[in-house]
Amino acid sequence: MTDYLLSVSALHKHFGGIAATDNVNLEVERGQVHAIIGPNGAGKTTLLAQLSGQIKPDSGNIEFGGRSIVNDSMARRARNGLARSFQITSVVMPMTLLENVMLAVQGTGGHSFRFWKPVSQDTALKDAAMASLVEVGLDDRAAQIAANVSHGEQRQLEVAMALAMKPRMLLLDEPMAGMGKEEGSAMVEILNRLKGDITILLVEHDMDAVFNMADKLSVLVDGHIIATDSVDNIRNNADVQKAYLGDGHA
């Protein structure tokens, strides 16, 4: 039997008359990189937001590690090992890269109702954060203020923060968004290194990157998954080509 870390069944979400998520069923195998592709406005980010707990679905179920998490808060899901990065860079801009990642370590490492000892003296916390920065190649930028580093580096910081949470599963919302070619391939390299250790659900526009990394693909169109298959099969799938070519060449 296949070991699914995340399974989504009959998920629905409407905004007014628009079905942003229309009966989505999705299963992500442990240890795999599963990518969701689809044209703009297909509801990819909305789906991810429901998985992370940022918005509540109208109906349906989400199981993570065999337990329903559909009623858990975003913070609770994060503590249970479901980490997400944001499509629009979302870090604490006035803090340094190291301070940002330290927060990420803090968030999953027990409570932070510790009022007296300076956090800067918590070497275990610092070391763990530094390790994540090393993983994404930002260790030499650790003391920089997040607002002052390049967009690509902020995206890498996003990933470092997600990693620092020691997640069982990463939800990545367009990690390559707005990156140059070089930054993009650096990100692919980082993610490929994580492959196997962490289960990843990836939403991405960059098809080359997706075909490079993903084990499995789901195609989302108008809130509905029209196909889930291996990368090769999806490439040759007529429906998918229609959805994509229709969108791209219109």
Least separation in angstroms between residue 187's CB and other proteins is 19
**Residue 67 or residue 117: which is nearer to other proteins going by CB?**
117
Q: Which of 13, 34, 44, 84 binds other proteins (CB under 8 A)?
A: 84
Q: Taking the CA of residue 211 as centre, how many other CA atoms within 13 Å lie in the half-sphere pointing to its CB?
A: 8
Residue 121: what residue type? Q
**Residue 84 or residue 141: which is nearer to other proteins going by CB?**
84
Site for other proteins in 158-177 (CB under 8 A): 161, 165
CB contact set of 101 (below 8 Å; sequence gap of 6+): 129, 130, 132, 133, 157, 160, 161, 164
Q: Which of 30, 79, 168, 224 binds other proteins (CB under 8 A)?
A: 79
Q: Is 99 in the site for other proteins (CB under 8 A)?
A: yes
Q: Is 114 in the site for other proteins (CB under 8 A)?
A: yes
CB crowding 47-73: b at 16 or more within 10 Å, else e: bbbbbbbebebeebebbbeeeebbebe
Q: Which of 10, 18, 119, 207 binds other proteins (CB under 8 A)?
A: 119
Q: Which of 118, 124, 140, 182 binds other proteins (CB under 8 A)?
A: 118
Least separation in angstroms between residue 3's CB and other proteins is 25
Q: Is 93 in the site for other proteins (CB under 8 A)?
A: yes
Q: Which of 21, 32, 45, 52 binds other proteins (CB under 8 A)?
A: 52
10 Å CB burial of residue 17 (0-12, 13-18, 19+) is: exposed
Size of the site for other proteins (CB under 8 A): 36
Q: How far apart are CA 169 and CA 5, in angstroms?
A: 8
Residue 213 CB coordination number (10 Å): 21
Q: How far apart are CA 133 and CA 164, in angstroms?
A: 9
Element (H, E) at 227: strand 224-230
**C-beta of residue 94 within 8 angstroms of C-beta of residue 145:** yes
**C-beta of residue 121 within 8 angstroms of C-beta of residue 114:** no
Q: Is 78 in the site for other proteins (CB under 8 A)?
A: yes
Q: How far apart are CA 22 and CA 7, in angstroms?
A: 16
Least separation in angstroms between residue 44's CB and other proteins is 17
- List beta partners, residue 198: 195
**Residue 16 or residue 116: which is nearer to other proteins going by CB?**
116
Choices 33-41, 95-103, 202-210, 227-235 (CB under 8 A): range interacting with other proteins: 95-103
Q: Is 122 in the site for other proteins (CB under 8 A)?
A: yes
**Residue 146 or residue 217: which is nearer to other proteins going by CB?**
146
- Residues in the site for other proteins, rule: CB under 8 A? 52, 54, 73-76, 78-79, 83-84, 86, 90-95, 99, 102-104, 106-108, 112-120, 122, 161, 165
